[in-house]
Chains A and B, each alone.
Chain A
Amino acid sequence: MVALARKTLVYEWRRFLPAILAVGFAGLLQLLQAALVLGIFGSASVYITGSSADLWAGYPGTQSVNLGRSIDSGVEMRLRMDPAVSAVEPFHWVDADWRGPSDTGGVSVFVSGINARPDGLLFAHALSPALRARLNEPDAVIVDRADLDSLGVGIGDTAVINGHRVRVVGVSNGLRALGGVNVVASLATAAELDTDPSNANRMTYFVAKLRDPSDADDVAARLRGNRAFGPYDVWTAESFARRSQMYWMFDTGAGAGVLFLAGVVFLVGAVITSQTLVAAVIGSVREYATLNALGVGVGALRKVVMEQAFWVGAIGLLGSTVLGGLALALARSRSVPVALSLWTTLACLGLCMGLAIVSGLAAMRSLRRADPATLLR
């Protein structure tokens, strides 16, 4: 079998280049956009995904982890009473105002008061035991490396949170927050920083570790709905993390923006690609018509066009994968939050292959002009 589609693609590569570039850049844009969105909105749930807790107990209806309201401290007992629970820890969230030593004005910060013991659940994945240990010093806080500039501090500097003096004892990586700056402190320090008197004897969240994490759904169902300690609800870490990300993605309108942009990228890519493929078909229409005169069926000719579309898509996507990999590596080295799962990558690449195939189908229509009777004149 003569590989007409591939040989034409190689020989007339200049003709196909715009389509390959269109698919490639569409793929690159989709990949980077998805990575950025997932990275940025993934940081909305860093408190959950960076911790080793299996269950989260908080105020009913909490839509995102940063919107927690305090619940009764007695919930801790309720959690501990359950035989499936192996450890319970409080998480004290304080919305606070930061004043640094240098002139940064007021900075809105989210103070996370956590158990600083080495076996603590909160930020178990995000903070090393050595770093946690430093939080045991009075008024010690940890901030993210990427936030040092906006906070106007370095390690060892002091600052003021809600009128209370704190000292930066270390920096973390990957703890950037959405809409503010994360500050990690011990539970004792966080309690000092919380100036709301109504939060006495109350806690924003209690998190629990289970003996068997696979029971999380059942245990959460069992623990919720008990009103003895006032209103509270229990979620698995996975569902709470997803809810927090979805809240940011859709309630902020960013998700709709992303989908809109993906649609635009798809449309522009499809227009360029289909026009290029149509031009390629029309450029060879007399040859196709000759083949049809010789008895090569229209179906076989369509297959040639679709094969060209497939190769245009494959080469374009290869380019976008390579460029995307380089761009993500660069982003990671600059602490830009990016995250990409295998399935998201496949979805983006699949979308762009779909773009190439749709363009091929559009180009196939112009084979109608390959009527051999038009060659006789």
Chain B
Amino acid sequence: MRLRAVLLSVAIMALAAPGFSQTPLIADLSEHQIQITTGFVGTDVLLFGTVGADSNVVVVVRGPEEQTAVWRKARFAGIWVNDQKVTFERVPSFYAVRSSAPLEEIAAETTRMRHGMGAEFLRLRPAAEEAAEVSDTEVATFRRALIRNKEREGLFATAGDQITFLGGQLFRTRLHFPANVPTGFYDVEVFMLQEGRVVHAQTTPLIVRKAGLGADVFFFAHNYSAVYGVIAVVLAVAAGVIAAFVFRKG
């Protein structure tokens, strides 16, 4: 049974292999999973591949979407207080763009808009219930603030290492994921462009997840909150008793 499965997959691969060599765009990541372990300080993932001759490459990385509130502070009695809020829906928790040349030079505006190449083309809309209350210029201000804050946290990367070509058709770029990278399922889209338009595209998944002790602690804290609370207290009491005992004789 297993032998048959192996033979079958070998046969499929043999059939598919010539097809691969004719596809002008092939790209892959050095890793498809980022594990946030106890010693995690951020990591780099290498993206590499080949494209057809005279092409440009754009890479767009998107993390899981979430609702994000943007606050504007105002001064009350000399103190800065969160005053106005605009909630944006479906904000990618992580977003990075890489390109083999400046985006404006290699991609038409419609192309950039359609594929969300560049933070200004992200579809960030305020939540329906708030949309009526804020003017369009206000929304634009809050949008820019959202992007600016995300960039400051290192979660929106629109500049940085660009895509480099090795001998015309082979390309590579290093994608950086900081220590505060959100967990979840990521999409890494690779676009091959000719004359400002996308001619081929490929999407590669990337998973960011917590692993090891930290993952267990996080899972436990969120799924067994009450038990976690009890354990936290018991651990602290035990530590206190041990400390009192150890240092009594000293």
B and A form one assembly:
no
